[in-house]
């Protein structure tokens, strides 16, 4: 009898404790770990992403799914060799609930492997590496940005339609550059054009001179370049300083001129690029976003800020569906999968592999704006070869 009573008591006690724990859990903050570049050629991109993410959370009163959000962060330096250690700091040392990162494709591939092995929720707010939504795709990995192939493919079509038959490409030699060029080739091919020369240099080098001399000697109909951040600023200026902008049209994915125009100035005027964001979109959500961003940060948002904002919207959609209960992972994942994200770029949904299916815009540099010129490719989906999910 006594033994039975104490068993019952222990059971009740345990149940009571469980209730107490889950109630406390619901009040606990959700810990978001930013793994982004805060130094190096991509540092401005990391900051814009964080700003965008925080802005959405701030608009929701600091909460997603009814729970307050707190942040920790790690500077990944866009350094693939440090990626595993860096993400483990967030997962094991800081016990984050979600990792938001990163910009660099080489870094994100290492992160995705750790996220997959530890089943950590990962929202990628930039890096376009195709592998993470291809062979490495997983229920816990989402991307709020693009695949490297998407803007490249659109630019290939645009360049071909504008008469480029023989094109030279130039980029940093790593996954993002390689995949961007592949997308460009695929798009160009649909118009009958071809790439006749592929030039590369190691990331994040900016010694472009010898390669520009080679471009001048090759005399292609056009050049396609993938660079971003500080490297894009220098490339566009060097291209103009070499006088090439007068004779050989320079095309690129929009990263070439996004968040960089103040620094590129005259050298960037008139450049045509393709991207899932543009200045001057006639989208009410974009107008509200830009005004809020401007008020909060006293700066103009760029594509990276939008991707950060949308990473928070995606997480918010998942958390709202489970009322902040991270234990309900399947329901959280399925809510993000089904969400229609009301993005400043225009609303988008996610592909089966968790990439945005989105319009790619043609933009033209006018002053400090990447002015919307039209839709280059409508509802473009990354094909995600190798994703079994």
Stretch that binds ligand PHB, among 120-128, 184-192, 233-241, 369-377 (CB under 6 A): 120-128
Q: Round to the nearest angstrom and report the end-to-end CA distance of the chain.
A: 53
Contact call for residue 245 and ligand PHB (CB under 6 A): no
Total binding residues for ligand PHB by CB under 6 A? 11
| Cβ atoms 30, 67 nearer than 8 A | yes
* Nearer Cβ to ligand PHB (42/208): 42
Stretch that binds ligand PHB, among 121-129, 341-349, 362-370, 371-379 (CB under 6 A): 121-129
Residue nearest to ligand PHB according to CB distances in the complex: 228
Contact call for residue 103 and ligand PHB (CB under 6 A): yes
Contact call for residue 44 and ligand PHB (CB under 6 A): no
* Interface pick for ligand PHB out of 53, 255, 277, 348 (rule CB under 6 A): 255
Q: Which of 59, 102, 56 is nearest to 83 (CA)?
A: 102
* Interface pick for ligand PHB out of 86, 105, 257, 274 (rule CB under 6 A): 105
For the bound state, the minimum distance from the C-beta of residue 289 to ligand PHB, rounded and expressed in Å, comes to: 19
Contact call for residue 228 and ligand PHB (CB under 6 A): yes
For the bound state, the minimum distance from the C-beta of residue 218 to ligand PHB, rounded and expressed in Å, comes to: 25
Stretch that binds ligand PHB, among 11-19, 125-133, 241-249, 361-369 (CB under 6 A): 125-133
For the bound state, the minimum distance from the C-beta of residue 355 to ligand PHB, rounded and expressed in Å, comes to: 13
Query: What is the rounded CA–CA span in Å between residue 261 and residue 269?
Result: 9
Stretch that binds ligand PHB, among 122-130, 160-168, 308-316, 352-360 (CB under 6 A): 122-130
* Interface pick for ligand PHB out of 54, 67, 73, 104 (rule CB under 6 A): 104
* Adjacent-strand bridge partners of 224: 169, 251
* Nearer Cβ to ligand PHB (64/228): 228
Query: What is the rounded CA–CA span in Å between residue 230 and residue 210?
Result: 19
* Interface pick for ligand PHB out of 32, 176, 271, 281 (rule CB under 6 A): 176
Residue 112, Cα to own-chain centre: how many angstroms?
14
For the bound state, the minimum distance from the C-beta of residue 41 to ligand PHB, rounded and expressed in Å, comes to: 9
* Nearer Cβ to ligand PHB (129/223): 129
How far CA 324 is from CA of 40, 335, 363, in Å, comes to: 35, 12, 39
For the bound state, the minimum distance from the C-beta of residue 77 to ligand PHB, rounded and expressed in Å, comes to: 13
* Interface pick for ligand PHB out of 148, 150, 343, 351 (rule CB under 6 A): 148
Stretch that binds ligand PHB, among 127-135, 273-281, 318-326, 353-361 (CB under 6 A): 127-135
* Interface pick for ligand PHB out of 127, 272, 319, 341 (rule CB under 6 A): 127
Stretch that binds ligand PHB, among 32-40, 99-107, 285-293, 332-340 (CB under 6 A): 99-107
* Nearer Cβ to ligand PHB (97/258): 258
Q: Which two tokens mark 329? A: 């992972």
Stretch that binds ligand PHB, among 124-132, 162-170, 311-319, 330-338 (CB under 6 A): 124-132
Contact call for residue 111 and ligand PHB (CB under 6 A): no
Q: Which residues bind ligand PHB (CB under 6 A)?
A: 103-105, 126-129, 148, 176, 228, 255
């Amino acid at each position: 009898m006594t033994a039975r009573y104490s068993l019952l008591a222990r059971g009740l006690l345990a149940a009571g404790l469980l209730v107490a724990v889950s109630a406390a859990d619901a009040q606990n903050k959700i810990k978001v770990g930013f793994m982004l570049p805060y130094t190096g050629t991509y540092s401005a991109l990391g900051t814009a992403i964080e700003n965008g993410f925080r802005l959405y959370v701030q608009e929701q009163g600091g909460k997603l799914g009814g729970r307050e959000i707190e942040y920790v962060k790690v500077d990944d330096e866009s350094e693939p060799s440090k990626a595993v250690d860096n993400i483990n700091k967030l997962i094991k040392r800081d016990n984050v609930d979600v990792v938001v990162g990163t910009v660099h494709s080489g870094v994100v591939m290492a992160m995705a492997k750790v996220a997959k092995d530890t089943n950590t929720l990962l929202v990628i707010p930039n890096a376009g590496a195709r592998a993470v939504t291809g062979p490495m795709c997983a229920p816990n990995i989402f991307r709020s940005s693009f695949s490297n192939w998407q803007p490249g493919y659109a630019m290939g079509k645009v360049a071909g339609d504008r008469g480029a038959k023989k094109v030279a490409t130039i980029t940093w030699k790593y996954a993002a550059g390689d995949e961007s060029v592949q997308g460009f080739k695929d798009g160009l091919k649909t118009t009958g054009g071809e790439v006749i020369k592929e030039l590369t240099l190691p990331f994040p080098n900016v010694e472009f001179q010898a390669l520009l001399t080679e471009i001048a000697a090759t005399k292609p109909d056009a050049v396609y370049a993938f660079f971003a951040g500080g490297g894009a600023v220098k490339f566009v200026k060097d291209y103009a300083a070499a006088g090439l902008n007068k004779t050989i049209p320079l095309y690129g994915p929009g990263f070439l001129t996004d968040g960089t125009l103040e620094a590129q100035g005259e050298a960037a005027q008139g450049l045509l690029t393709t991207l899932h964001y543009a200045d001057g979109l006639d989208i009410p959500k974009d107008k509200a976003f830009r005004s809020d961003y401007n008020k909060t940060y006293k700066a103009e948002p760029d594509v990276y800020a939008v991707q950060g904002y949308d990473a928070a919207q995606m997480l918010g959609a998942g958390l709202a569906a489970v009322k902040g209960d991270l234990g309900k992972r399947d329901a959280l994942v399925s809510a993000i999968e089904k969400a229609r994200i009301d993005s400043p770029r225009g609303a988008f949904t996610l592909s089966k592999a968790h990439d945005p299916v989105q319009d790619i815009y043609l933009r033209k540099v006018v002053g400090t704006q990447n002015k919307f010129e039209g839709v280059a490719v409508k509802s473009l989906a990354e094909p995600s070869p190798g994703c079994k999910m």
